[in-house]
Amino acid sequence: MKTLYLLSGLSFSGKSTLGGLLAERTGAGVVSLDAINSRRGLHGGDGIPDEDWLATHHLALAEVERLCRAGRPVIVDDTNCFRWLRDAYRRVAAGFGYRSLVLMLELPVVEALARAELNDRTGARAPVARRVLEELAAKFEWPAPDEAVVTIPAQAPFGPWLDTALERGGPLAEPDSDPAT
C-alpha cells in the first residue's frame, strides 16, 4: 500500500526540509504548493487572495492524482491548515488505494515568528510577512482525532527521527501488503 504524506504546520516549521528528506528515503513525489504558486507568479508570504489559493489547490490535486496514477508515494508540502484541504487530498489518494498520514510539525507561534524574523535578516528563503503568519496561526485547523496523524516536534533533528520512523513498525513504515509476512 502506498502512502500520501500530508505535511502540516506553520510557516518555518521545517515542512519542506522534512519533505525533502522523506522524498529521498521513499522515492515519493513532492507536490509543493509554494512551487505551484511560484510558477503562477504568486508568493504566499505576501498573502494570496482566496480564489488564487483555490486555483493552486486544484493544480496540486491534479499533481497528486498524476503521482498516484504512477503508483508513487506522494508528499504534499503545504501548511494544510484546513481540514477540507486535507480531506480533498485524502479523497484523491483513497481512490487509488493509498493510505494517508498527516505529518504535523509542532512549532509554537512565537518560535515561528522568531524564525521568520531571522529569515528576514538572512534571506535563507522567501520571506513571510508577520501579519500573514499571525493570520495563518489564528485560523489553523489542527488535525482532529479521526485523522491519522504523526506529530513531530519541529525542533527535532529530522534525519535520525525519520530513519527510525520509517523502520519496520515505525509510524511512517509502509504497512505490509501481505499479512503473512
Q: What is the pLDDT of residues 76-133, one digit of tens each?
A: 999 999 999 999 999 999 999 999 999 999 999 999 999 999 999 998 888 888 999 9
Q: Which CATH number covers residue 78?
A: 3.40.50.300
| Lowest mean pLDDT, pick from 3-7, 55-59, 119-123, 140-144 | 119-123
Domain assignment present for residue 171? The answer is no
Place of cell 519542506: 16
State whether the Cα torsion 31-36-102-167 is positive or negative. Answer: positive
Domain assignment present for residue 25? The answer is yes
pTM of the model: 0.92
Domain assignment present for residue 42? The answer is yes
Could you tell me the residue range of the domain that residue 69 belongs to? 3-166
Domain assignment present for residue 181? The answer is no
CA distances, 168 to each of 89, 118, 129, 143 (Å): 26, 38, 41, 25
d(CA 144, CA 167): 26
Those residues whose C-beta lies under 8 Å from the C-beta of residue 163, and which sit 6 or more positions away, are 25
State whether the Cα torsion 35-36-40-43 is positive or negative. Answer: negative
Domain tally for the chain?
A: 1
